[in-house]
Amino acid sequence: MAGRRALWPLLWLALLLGAVLAGPPGARDAALAQTQEAPAFDAEAWARLAERAEAATADPTTATEDLRALRAEIAEWRARLLEAQTANRSRIETLRGQLAALGPPPAEGATEAPEIATRRAELAAQIQRLEAPAIAAEEGWRRADGLVGEIDRLLRDRQAAALLTLGPSPLNPLNWQAALVPLMAGVGAPLAEIRSDLASPSGRAEALANLPVAVGFALIAAILVLRGRRWMGRLRAGIETRAAPRWRGILMAPASLAQVIVPTLGVLAGSVAFGATGLGGDATHALIVTLPIAGGVLFTALWLAERVFPPPGTDQPHLPLGDEAQARGRFNTLLIGWIIAADLILATFLPHGEGAAGTGAAAVVDYPLIVLGGWVLWRLGGILRLVPAATPGAAATLPPATPDAIPLRDRLTRLVALGARATGVLAPILGAFGYLEAAGMLVGSSMLSLWLAGLMLVLQRMLARLVLALAAQAGMAEGEAEGGAGLLPVLTGIVLIVASIPLLALIWGAQATDLAEIWERFVAGVPVGDTRISPAALIWFAVVFGAIYSATRLVQAGLRTSVLPRTTLDQGGQTAIVAGVGYVGVFLAAVAGISAAGFDLSSLAIVAGALSVGIGFGLQNIVSNFVAGIILLIERPVSEGDWIEVGGVQGIVRAISVRSTRIETFDRTDVIVPNADLISNQVTNWTHFNQSGRLIVPVGVAYGTDTRRVADAIRPRSRAPPPACSRSPRRWRFSRASGRAASTSSCAFSCAT
């Protein structure tokens, strides 16, 4: 509970921050109302851009980069046009109110006062003039939206065509020599540039002048690359063994990430050291820029390998595998890093020496990496297939689990293993036939997807430990932290999965423009009638609703603890008043939140009509119980604390909620009774208006029994009555039936509660 209570301040802070950043939905309209009229957008500039974009999309020779640049410009204009649609809205609403105040226009053939007719015409003209910019903006927005969609479709078609393009086969020996020549030329280009600079006196002088700086950065690079990762590993191990539990989870995450950051900074320092000499040209500088990226990829691969498939005795494994499988997983994960780094470096060498045989050279150079990547995917798929069988706690004697009983993690692992193995076989085959783009996309996207999945596992554990450490900092015991904050790691995992979806889409070929388009539509909202539902409107609804609801809860607490106990109302009446205040507060909070979000309440009539149909068919019992609960609170035939009997159940009413009433029987069991049963059925209330009543307890005995002795046996002699009850004089009556003897006693009682 403490962990869940800790969520509320963070949630409120996030909502308030979002509301401040988004601004109230009517803020811009109010600003426009103060200026009377908003300036119109530049329609001529937009028309020229739209015509240029239409001509570019119709020309099949337009370069892809030009299309992307045009799309960015049109997307900016689309955002401006969307804002311009709300121009002068507040002023228009004011004028419409003035026009409505003049009354309906006269019927055909009827006349009205000249001053009213003149004023009506003036207001209509003003409204028409103020609506013109918004109408033009809406037309422009639809044109821009159509152009953006057309460019996106064109870019996707070109991408699909590139994937399906049949190129030269890398298995053709005629392409091998054509690939070797440009590759050697690309590798030798940086060396040739460096030799050329050293041969010139100015180049040697510049290199000697910058030599101290280069040597300094080179020493830093050597220290960070050779020792940095080991030092960060020792720091992490020291934190894990020596730090207090409440600090361990907070310090472990940055210490672990430092094992990637520190050596990568070392590679960057080495690149800076070489660049400080001033040697080399374009090819050398391209290689210098690529080396830190490739180094970061390698150190990330090493870090992921040790985190996802940890060595024995270092960390708890994420996947239930044996030591041999963990070792194979580390090797293959690291091999993926080498493949990606080699592809990056080869991409810098090959363009400088492509020549006329560039396509064939790229095919021959890339195909070995594709085959190696397919082999790695096949091996990783085989390792992942061992996960369900190695799940701890599964007894070997148990029968095979049904498909519904297999955990979700095991199902996903099997699917990932199957996909990895299928890609490992299919990609080399496609590449052998000449579909190098499709084969490279399959292998590269699959390897990066596996990396992303491993990264999500590692980050989820890091954040889970961080959450538990923060809970310990808040003063929670270890067991309480794991129980109260146990939901937080799960929510963290869900957030990580949602955050990884855009990255996964980019990995599998989605354009950044597609993601930008989705984000733009999400921010712009969905039009519903005259209202646009956007994230800003939803945030304001949550803020206003939460504020009024919290105030209602405070008022309820004050009534329950301070005001109502000082009155003469009984407990049932106090509970009814508190519940009624709660219902009214929730209703007011909903109405105020909807109004603050800018939603038109009149548009809810359709929803109300559909809801009434649903109530008539499927929600009739729920609504009847809700209405019965309100009747119980107002009429109060049954109140909390009453002793009632309904449907053969006797007990004390403990709570009256919206849908049902909870009755505690004398056996200490709770019976949930729908409120409609208390209104429509017969209910016996033993303590409705007073606490006095009489119980008749029949006592049966065998034939021939002396009933006077039975009466003496059951009549209490010296036992005092319970403190809460006072008994009136007892009256006993005896009756004999033919064939049997029975005695019946009745006793009047009066109870304080």
Residue with tokens 């396509």: 359
Cα–Cα distance for residue pair 535/716, rounded to 1 Å: 73
Residues 52 and 100 in one domain: yes
pLDDT for residue 727: 41
**555 domain-assigned:** no
Instruction: Tell me which residues of the chain have a pLDDT lower than 70.
Output: 1-41, 178-179, 245-246, 248-249, 350-361, 388-409, 471-489, 524, 526-532, 572, 599-619, 689, 716-753
Residues 80 and 190 in one domain: no
Q: How far is CA 521 from CA 45, 98, 524, in A?
A: 24, 35, 5
Compute how many other C-beta atoms are within 10 angstroms of the C-beta atom of residue 7. 13
Cα–Cα distance for residue pair 94/88, rounded to 1 Å: 10
Domain boundaries, position 715: 692-751
Q: Which helix (H) or strand (E) holds 99?
A: helix 89-101
Q: Please check whether residue 112 is in contact with residue 106, taking contact to mean a CB–CB distance below 8 angstroms.
A: yes
Q: Which helix (H) or strand (E) holds 684?
A: strand 683-685
Cα–Cα distance for residue pair 655/640, rounded to 1 Å: 6
**367 domain-assigned:** yes
Cα–Cα distance for residue pair 143/137, rounded to 1 Å: 10
Residue 124 structure tokens: 């209509």
Where do runs of H (alpha helix) occur along 310-392? 323-349, 358-384
Cα–Cα distance for residue pair 396/588, rounded to 1 Å: 60
Residues 478 and 336 in one domain: yes
Residues 98 and 66 in one domain: yes
Residues 70 and 183 in one domain: no
Residues 418 and 372 in one domain: yes
Residues 73 and 198 in one domain: no
Residue where one domain finishes, among candidates 509, 527, 554: 509
pLDDT for residue 463: 79
Residues 188 and 295 in one domain: yes
Residue where one domain finishes, among candidates 509, 541, 567: 509
Residues 86 and 196 in one domain: no
Q: Please check whether residue 22 is in contact with residue 536, taking contact to mean a CB–CB distance below 8 angstroms.
A: yes
Residue 352 structure tokens: 């400088």
Contacts of 112 (CB under 8 A, 6+ apart): 105, 106
**149 domain-assigned:** yes
pLDDT for residue 745: 39
**97 domain-assigned:** yes
Where do runs of H (alpha helix) occur along 164-308? 174-199, 201-209, 211-223, 229-242, 245-276, 282-308
Length of the chain: 753
**400 domain-assigned:** no
Plot region of 41 (φ>0 → left; ψ -120 to 50 → alpha; else → beta):
beta
Count of domains forming the chain = 3
Residues 184 and 98 in one domain: no
Residues 144 and 47 in one domain: yes
Compute how many other C-beta atoms are within 10 angstroms of the C-beta atom of residue 441. 19
**294 domain-assigned:** yes
CB-count exposure of residue 475 (10 Å: 0-12, 13-18, 19+): exposed
Q: Is 287 helix (H, G, I), strand (E, B) or coil?
A: helix
Cα–Cα distance for residue pair 146/94, rounded to 1 Å: 33
Residue where one domain finishes, among candidates 509, 540, 560: 509
Query: What order of strands is seen across the sheet that includes strand 643-646?
Result: 670-674, 660-664, 649-656, 643-646, 683-685
Cα–Cα distance for residue pair 245/482, rounded to 1 Å: 13
**542 domain-assigned:** no
**554 domain-assigned:** no
Q: Is the dihedral of CA 44, 50, 54, 56 positive or negative?
A: positive
| The model's pTM | 0.65
Residues 452 and 496 in one domain: yes
Cα–Cα distance for residue pair 744/733, rounded to 1 Å: 6
